[in-house]
Structure 1
Amino acid sequence: MKQVVLVFLGGGFGSILRFLISKAYNSHLQHFFLGTFLVNIIGCLLIGFILGISARGNYLTPNQTLLLSTGFCGGFTTFSTFSYEGHSLLKTGELFQFSIYTILSIVIGVIAIALGLWLSKML
C-alpha cells in the first residue's frame, strides 16, 4: 500500500507541473506544442538520471526511485497528449510540422535519457 501512495503522490506533483508548463508554453509556437515537447524531454532527462543513480544502489532507496520515476516522471510526461497533438497536426494537414514534432520528440527524448544516465555517473 505504501508504494501505491508513493506513486500517487509523485504522479500528482508531476501532473500539476506538466499542466503548468504546458499551459505556459503550448501557445508560444504555431503548429508546435512546445510545452508538451519540453515536459517530455525534461522527463526523459530526469528519468535517465533517476534510474541511473538508482542503479548505482547508494543514492536512492527503492521507494524513492518509485516515487520519482514511476510517480513523478510518469505523471509529468505525457505520451497520450503527444499522440493527440500529433493526430491533430495530421488532421489539419500539417504533415511537415507533424514530422518535425514527432522526430524531434523521439530523437531528443532518447538523447535526453542517455544524457541523464551519463550525468548520473558523474556523482
Structure 2
Amino acid sequence: MIVFYTAVAGGIGSALRFFISTSIQKTRSHARFPYSIILINLLGAAGLGLLTGTVTDNDPLLMIIGTGFFGGFTTFSTFSVEAATMLHERQIGQLAVYLLVTIVGSLCLFAAFFQIGQRLF
C-alpha cells in the first residue's frame, strides 16, 4: 500500500511543480532564466529537510512524502537540461549563478530546515 501512496504523492508533487512552473513562466515570459526550476528545487530541498528532520528513518511518511511528493516535485533532470543549454549557448555568467544558487542554496536550505525539523519534535 505504501507504493500506491508514494505514487499518488509523486503525482501530486509533479502536478504542483507544473502549476508553479507555468505560473512563473506566465509572469516572467520575457526572461530566459529558469526562475521556476530554481524556486521549485529550493522549496523541495527545504521541505525535504524539514521532513527528514522531523520523522524517523523508518517512518512510512519518509517514503511517501520524501520519495513520492518531493521526488515528483523537484526536478534534477530539468535542472540538468537548463544547465547544459546555458553551457552550450556559452551563457557562462548565467550558468554560474544558476549552479551556485541551485546547488549551494539547496544544500543550505536542506540543512537549515533539517535543523528546524529536529527542534520541532
TM score, norm. by length of structure 1:
0.88
Q: Look up the match of 1:50.
A: 51
| Structure 1 residue 16, shift from structure 2 partner | 0.3
The aligned residue for residue 60 of structure 2 is 63
**Aligned partner of 2:117 among 113, 117, 120:** 120
Take 1:120 and 1:38, find their aligned partners in 2: how far apart are those partners?
20
Is 2:87 the partner of 1:81?
A: no
Look up the SS of the partner of 2:5 in the other structure.
Answer: helix
Shift of 1:81: 0.3
1:12-71 superposed Cα distances (whole Å, 9 cap, x missing partner) = 00000001111112462723211110000000000011011113x8xxx72222111000
What value does the CA root-mean-square deviation take over the aligned residues?
1.6
Give the conservation status (yes or no) of the 8 Å contact 1:31–1:97: no
| Of 100, 108, 112, the match for 1:111 | 108
What are the ranges of 5 or more consecutive residues in structure 2 without an aligned counterpart?
none
Q: 1:26 to 1:82 in 2, by over 3 A?
A: farther
Q: Shift of the alpha carbon at 1:121?
A: 2.4
Q: Does 1:40 align with 2:41?
A: yes
Consecutive aligned runs of 4 or more in structure 1 exceeding 4 Å deviation: none
Q: Gapped runs of 5+ residues in structure 1?
A: none
CA distance in 2, matches of 1:26, 1:96: 21
* Percent of residue pairs bearing the same amino acid type: 31
The aligned residue for residue 10 of structure 2 is: 11
